[in-house]
Amino acid sequence: MSGAMLSASQTRDEIAAGRQTAADVCRAAIERMQATQPTLNAFNLIDADRALARAEAIDRQRAAGAALGPLAGVPVVLKDNLCVRGMRTTASSKILDTFVPPYDATVVRKLEAAGAVIVGKANCDEFAMGSSTENSAYGPARNPWDLDRTPGGSSGGSAAAVAAGLASAALGTDGAGSIRIPAACCGLFGLKVQRGRISTAPDVHPHRDMAVIGPIARTVEDAARLADVLKDGGPSYAEAARGEPGHLRVAVSTGVALPGLHANAEQLSGVDAAAALLRELGHEVIPRELDWDIALGNRVLTRFVRGVGDMAVELGHRERLSRRARGMARIGMMIPARAAEAAEAQAAADAERINRIFDESDVVLTPMFTRRPLRVREYDGASGLRTLNGNVRLAPYAGAFNHTGQPAVSVPVATASDGFPIGVQLVGKPDSEPLLIALSAQLERHTNWPARRPAVAA
């Protein structure tokens, strides 16, 4: 099997300079994907023929002297809830086992216009209901850093593929942490952009308007390049990744709204490592707790879970959902629509209260998890309610910022004693993606995280 994939930026530059062909890069990616599929189960579909045809077309463009797009020849993986015309799209559910969409999602059109080569559809939790990628009709995905653990979710296959070097970058969706969670589980950078920054079409107001689409990548610059292609205008994120953030006030907040719940020592060690590095880099680091409470947590959960119920009603055939997904959908349908609407109406007031922390700070640093990611099959046989409770208790720091809509990222910063990655979350005020990207890139330059590889990618 060929060596691990180059970064998206390196791959594009190699192809543009003629040192590699897009077709050879694509073949190597497909070879890696097929070789690791029995171990990682990162993919629901590997579309070798379509991908190779796209790559060969890019090589012909280069040979003809045509200008190449910013992602020319870069292998990209899509979460299997993003539609590609003519490519089976299942959302990891038997309900859509034979669904072949007659249209492209807007993000797919933009990716391909930029020259990206879509190599496959990544495994995920069924209809994005979960944070482990165990709740999939096609079996659980596994974490390249520890095959006995999940890669997080619901965009877990996307993160496993990038961490293992099977593709340069991936797209996921994030309705309550589903980009940041798997990125942190797999030692990657995950970007949740501000709501409305990247089109979710043809999906309209997914998960009660909590979900966004965004990149998962090994490097901050790779994620920034993808986001630049996907968003509509505004400042260049790639330029932000190459710049410096300036002197910042960073608030450290480790508390959660759930009584008795807290991050364990391993996760807090990641926060401590990040805080120490930030101080070393000249930033002011101050302890400040976010003003969130149990009522806010209930509103976040109400919106998201009712969104799951809405989707189940829209799809029909609920008897074909897995037991856990069916249970979660049932809980969602039990929540009155007016309760979800009231929670959504309260989002602006919640955002105003939470964002008062930015009167005294520029960025907020939180843990990503309360504990290490779930073991594979940890929730086997569990009900939808138990699974939902476990998801909330694993990653209680993420969903609030889907509710408020502001940007947040997950950044790898440290390792546990056995080498397993530990990530943290950085949260910014509205419209602060360039600042979060610049700060994350600064941390990356000093930790050199992209050079680290799990054994599966060696």
Active site residues: 79, 154, 178
| CATH classification at residue 135 | 3.90.1300.10
User: What b/e string do you get for 173-201 counting C-beta neighbours within 10 Å, with b at 16 or more?
Assistant: bbbbbbbbbbbbbbbbbbbbbbbebbbbe
Whole-angstrom Cα distance, residue 100 to residue 449?
A: 38
Whole-angstrom Cα distance, residue 265 to residue 290?
A: 20
Asked whether residue 329 is domain-assigned, the answer is yes
Query: DSSP secondary-structure letter at 84?
Result: B
Whole-angstrom Cα distance, residue 127 to residue 304?
A: 12
Radius of gyration of the chain (CA): 20
Whether pTM exceeds 0.95:
yes
Asked whether residue 380 is domain-assigned, the answer is yes
Are 221 and 241 in contact by the 8 Å Cβ rule? The answer is: yes
Place of tokens 């070393």: 280
Q: What is the pLDDT of residue 1?
A: 40
Is 17 strand, coil or helix?
A: coil
Asked whether residue 1 is domain-assigned, the answer is no
Bridging pattern class, strands 169-174 and 212-217: antiparallel
Is 96 strand, coil or helix?
A: helix
- Total structural domains in the chain? 1
Place of tokens 């699974």: 387
Whole-angstrom Cα distance, residue 410 to residue 155?
A: 14
Are 413 and 443 in contact by the 8 Å Cβ rule? The answer is: yes
- By C-alpha distance, which of 255, 257, 254, 185 is closest to 216? 185
Successive 10-residue mean pLDDT values, the chain, 458 residues: 74 97 97 97 98 98 97 98 98 96 98 98 95 94 98 98 96 98 98 98 92 98 98 96 98 91 97 98 98 91 93 87 89 95 97 97 98 92 86 95 98 97 98 98 97 85
Q: Three-state secondary structure along 99-164?
A: CCCCCCCHHHHHHHHCCCEEEEEECCCHHHCCCCCCCCCCCCCCECCECCECCCCCCHHHHHHHHC
Whole-angstrom Cα distance, residue 72 to residue 46?
A: 20
Whole-angstrom Cα distance, residue 365 to residue 387?
A: 27
Q: Which domain range does residue 74 map to?
A: 8-457
Q: What is the pLDDT of residue 4?
A: 62
Whole-angstrom Cα distance, residue 57 to residue 115?
A: 10
Asked whether residue 16 is domain-assigned, the answer is yes
Q: What is the pLDDT of residue 257?
A: 81
Whole-angstrom Cα distance, residue 334 to residue 353?
A: 29
**Angle separating helix axes 8-16 and 48-63, nearest 10 degrees:** 50
Asked whether residue 165 is domain-assigned, the answer is yes
Give the chain's length.
458
Query: DSSP secondary-structure letter at 395?
Result: -
What is the dihedral sign for C-alpha 144, 145, 150, 151?
Answer: negative
Asked whether residue 439 is domain-assigned, the answer is yes
Whole-angstrom Cα distance, residue 313 to residue 421?
A: 38
Asked whether residue 2 is domain-assigned, the answer is no
Asked whether residue 169 is domain-assigned, the answer is yes
231 phi, psi to nearest 5 deg:
-80, 165
Q: What is the pLDDT of residue 204?
A: 87
Are 146 and 157 in contact by the 8 Å Cβ rule? The answer is: no
Q: What is the pLDDT of residue 2?
A: 45
